[in-house]
Structure 1
Amino acid sequence: MTLNLDRYSHLSDATLMLLRVVTGAFLVHGTWDNVTSSERMQEFVVFLTQNGFAWPQLMAPLSVYAQSACGGLLVLGLLTRWAGLVVAFNFVVAVVMVHWQQDFRGWWPALVLVLLGLHFAAQGGGRYALDAVLARRRPGSRS
């Protein structure tokens, strides 16, 4: 009997895909009301104003549409590294501007999204991503 669980390493591409899809779906779900409702977007503008953001009328839709688009890209595994960087940047800003004064529990959701974004930027989409399909079609390219 082995305790190192190496026999499960073949699942890493599947678990990366699941992590990507769930994270992307979370981002789309979390922004969809702002995308589809001008009232909800205005509430987000007010939230950003209350938290000291510069140009909240610009930053609110920029953040919302970036999160929603990157969520969709993560679900598809398309431009995964770039989407990861954008997600990481967006949530670093959230940590610094909104969660900085909170305790660790307050930081946790945004901090996890920073780390997930960095992971996707470093790892890419994996075998079960459109990035991998496109890379196979281009000789000599990496996903």
Structure 2
Amino acid sequence: MLSSLYSLSRFRDFGVLLLRLAFGLQLVLSAWPYMSDPAKLTEFTNYLTTLGFPFPGPGAVVSAYTEFLGGILLILGLWTRPVALVVAFNFLVALLLGHVFIADTYENSYPSANLLVVTLFLAFNGAGAYSIDARLGHR
């Protein structure tokens, strides 16, 4: 039984593709409201202000663009490792500032933690065979 499960490793690149597509789409869709509605960006800026984030206005814009553009690039599998590191840093700041430093509950914190882990997976493993990175010969 278990030995037959090892044959699934031949689909490893397909699994990475699915992860990139689902995760990248999540990033794009969650960032889009901030990109398209100035009121939403103002809400995010105000939230960062309440957390004591330095430069909350530029921080909100950088975070929204990081997620949106990062999501598109991860979907394409273009510059996956550096993009994943930038997005991981974004989620590390979100996790620490928005959850850990304010002693938030685990239930509220784990989505940011999971997003951080997915981006680290992509940074460590790359985009896989079904990507622009693979076409360009990036390893």
TM bracket (short chain)? over 0.9
What are the equivalent positions in structure 2 for 1:40-59 lying under 5 Å apart? 40-59=40-59
CA distance in 2, matches of 1:7, 1:121: 25
SS at match of 2:114: helix
Aligned AA (1:132): A
TM-fit CA distance, 1:8: 1.0
TM-fit CA distance, 1:21: 0.8
What are the equivalent positions in structure 2 for 1:1-143 lying under 5 Å apart? 2-4=1-3, 5-100=5-100, 101-135=103-137, 142-143=138-139
Task: Show CA shifts across 1:41-78 (max 9, x none).
Answer: 11111111111110001100011001111000010000
TM-fit CA distance, 1:113: 1.0
Which stretches of structure 1, 4 residues or more, deviate above 3 A after TM superposition?
Answer: none
CA distance in 2, matches of 1:38, 1:3: 53
TM-score by length of structure 2 reads 0.94
CA distance in 1, matches of 2:31, 2:51: 18
Aligned AA (1:131): D
Aligned AA (2:107): R
CA distance in 2, matches of 1:103, 1:34: 25
Q: Aligned residues, how many?
A: 136
TM-fit CA distance, 1:106: 1.4
CA distance in 1, matches of 2:62, 2:89: 12
CA distance in 2, matches of 1:119, 1:69: 18
Q: Contact 1:41/1:61 (CA < 8 Å) preserved in 2?
A: yes
The root-mean-square deviation of aligned C-alpha atoms, in Å, is 0.9
TM-fit CA distance, 1:35: 0.4
Task: Show CA shifts across 1:15-54 (max 9, x none).
Answer: 1000011100000000101101111111111111111110
Gaps of 5+ in 1: 136-141
